[in-house]
Structure 1
């Protein structure tokens, strides 16, 4: 009988600093439990068309970064700078989804976050995304052609529609779940809202695997 595996489904947005700040927590979790954990990242646009984009110079953004983002970045060991632009993120998601087809999702996913929050690059710009993807081994011509079609857009929208059914209204939003053992039904999935610390993931594991997690 195979050991139960833990799935972590994470909805996030490339323009959300708290989503980037959740990446090292997910990394820590995966490093601790290895192949017993599978992480699946999903798209969630906080401000899709026609929702107005945030003003990069707004008091709201500056206050949020000073009071919450920078302290958490220091705590989690990430370098973040308030970006000079606030782009749409759909094309960035499409780029990451394209990279998944060739097994380069993780590299592109991190590179997009880093480009925006460390280098201030406009990740809503197709040429910028082509450059980012190329540094991760993606053929820019193939990506550019794919971005002109509807298949990647449909995949992003499908992710977001699923999030709506789950009642997701903000990100990061993680759902931890497991399969059952034998004829037993698995425990209900556990949702973690916001940039949850590692302790919240550990507590969820204890609830999902009361007899001990097989990856521990």
Structure 2
């Protein structure tokens, strides 16, 4: 089974949900996770901080084979625990270097907005195609020639995050 996980680096529910998900993930060794970042507040929306550059950084690491798991953790920690500006390319380059990326190539990619189209595409997929209410959200995608379409979905809604129990039940039902 494949699971699409929708998140935003500036979302406190996603930060909590990320840690919770990683605690549960070892219980599902066959689960393939597809990380689907999407902005809760895309530009030009007025917000205290944007996450588009951090998301572009994730796409860079994904493309060059960097350590995505560490990058997610470091970006969340930088934002929520250290109060760093995750829209600052130099902050992100330092984090990416710790995940196996060449910081100069990383900086060039972000300076050129090389992955801006992927950020917009991810936003459209989450908010327009799937019509998510909020993040984090989790979508099961069946695999195989006889399995088509989308599977079940669970997500935050009306200011209420997905609870650990809800996520445990959702994942257990995917087996």
- Using structure 1 for the length normalisation, give the TM-score: 0.71
SS state of the match for residue 151, structure 1?
Answer: coil
Matched, 1:153 2:119: no
Offset of residue 175 of structure 1: 0.7
Corresponding residue number in structure 2 for 1:59 = none
CA distance in 1, matches of 2:78, 2:168: 30
Corresponding residue number in structure 2 for 1:65 = none
Number of residue-to-residue matches in the alignment: 169
Matched, 1:43 2:44: no
Deviation by residue 1:153-177 (Cα, 9 ceiling, x = unmatched): 1111111111120012321111123
Structure 1: which 5+ residue stretches go unaligned?
A: 1-5, 54-85
Offset of residue 96 of structure 1: 1.2
Offset of residue 137 of structure 1: 2.5
- 5 Å matches for 1:34-183? 34=29, 36-53=30-47, 86-101=48-63, 102-163=65-126, 164-180=128-144, 183=146
CA distance in 1, matches of 2:168, 2:93: 37
Offset of residue 8 of structure 1: 1.5
Aligned counterpart for 1:17 among listed residues 9, 12, 30:
12
Offset of residue 29 of structure 1: 2.5
Corresponding residue number in structure 1 for 2:166 = 200
CA distance in 2, matches of 1:197, 1:179: 26
Deviation by residue 1:58-94 (Cα, 9 ceiling, x = unmatched): xxxxxxxxxxxxxxxxxxxxxxxxxxxx311100100
CA distance in 2, matches of 1:132, 1:156: 19
CA distance in 2, matches of 1:137, 1:103: 5
- Using structure 2 for the length normalisation, give the TM-score: 0.86
Residues 136 and 161 (structure 1 numbering): CA distance in 2 closer, same or farther, change over 3 Å?
Answer: same
Matched, 1:191 2:153: yes
RMSD after superposition: 2.0
Offset of residue 15 of structure 1: 0.6
Contact 1:176 1:204 in 2 (8 A): no
Deviation by residue 1:4-52 (Cα, 9 ceiling, x = unmatched): xx22111111111100101122112311111x11111112111122111
CA distance in 2, matches of 1:9, 1:161: 15
Contact 1:25 1:197 in 2 (8 A): no
